[in-house]
Amino acid sequence: MESLAANQLTLGYGDEIIINDLDISIPKGKMTVFIGSNGCGKSTLLRSLARLLQPKDGEVILDGSNIANFKTKDVAKEMAILPQSPTTPEGLTVYQLVKLGRYPYQGWMKKWSKEDEEAVETALESTNMLDLKDRFVDSLSGGQRQRAWIAMTLAQDTDIIFLDEPTTYLDMTHQIEILDLLFELNETDNRTIVMVLHDINLACRYADHIVALKDKKVWEQGKPEDIVTIDFVQSVFRMACDVTYDPLFGTPMCIPHGKGRCLIKQEMQKAR
């Protein structure tokens, strides 16, 4: 089942074409992850699907209709996007930031309501930010700050959430914390989550559906266990590797070749 798709989509900036004649369907209620080498168009595609970038050609289809024909506020009620490394205005509390997620529902005849307040409270509770709602956003740790931004997107109350590199600049603990949160939101609320990740092993662990971009198009897509192989990684990332299975989750795990301390060789030399 799908609610979001793109047909013959061509994207670019000026005369430069980033994505060319691309077709894609986003599985509804699943976690989809875009992967690929730097500059392959992952963020560009994400922005276009969220209607932040107008296509040069082709169309994005939402619930059977061209998204270009939607009113801006109607789009904002259907999908929310968290860009990479968003900048928070100085002096804004977590509560004030999360309230901004309710902007599609406000207007000169529609004032702040009990429904709006409940949506903010639910978003804060879902992201474990309720106790921090009066803290200034710029005083938070990286992981807390990212949770605050995710709470804002949740307050928008959309079925589709886009996230561009939600784990950028976070340490390993906070990366897992954020991805676990998104996984739980998908599991409990059946929200469609589409995000860009650089770490292929984390993509394999969390994604129901992976989309690999290369040469301005979808190179391959499907379940991680069906498509992530040695040949796949070499083709998409031009990297020699071994592919085994995550001992905890059973998902594909890429072990890149390269230089470094080789403990196996050291043990073999000792044995001689």
Over range 203-221, report the average pLDDT. Answer: 97
Over range 6-16, report the average pLDDT. Answer: 95
- Residue 103 one-letter amino acid: Y
State the pTM of this model.
Answer: 0.91
| Per-residue model confidence (pLDDT) at position 170 | 86
Distances (CA, A) of 162 to 1, 20, 80, 120, 141: 18, 21, 6, 19, 22
The whole-angstrom separation of Cα 150 and Cα 142 is: 12
Residue labelled with tokens 């259907």:
78
pLDDT in tens, 101-134: 999 988 777 788 899 999 999 999 989 999 999 9
Q: What is the CB-side half-sphere exposure of residue 43 using CA atoms within 13 A?
A: 12
Residue 265 pLDDT exceeds 70? no
List every span in the chain annotated with CATH 3.40.50.300. Answer: 1-70+160-173+190-272
Looking at residue 170, the DSSP 8-state letter turns out to be -
Pairing state between β 241-245 and 252-256: antiparallel
Which of 45-49, 169-173, 226-230 is predicted least confidently? Answer: 169-173
| Per-residue model confidence (pLDDT) at position 1 | 52
Residue 224 pLDDT exceeds 70? yes
Residue 177 pLDDT exceeds 70? yes
- Of residues 168 and 40, more confidence is placed in 40
Whether the Cβ atoms of residue 158 and residue 80 lie closer than 8 Å to each other: yes
pLDDT in tens, 69-107: 999 999 999 999 999 888 877 899 999 999 999 999 887
On whether the 1-70+160-173+190-272 domain is CATH 3.40.190.10, my answer is no
The whole-angstrom separation of Cα 100 and Cα 148 is: 11
Residue 147 pLDDT exceeds 60? yes
pLDDT in tens, 194-206: 999 999 999 999 9
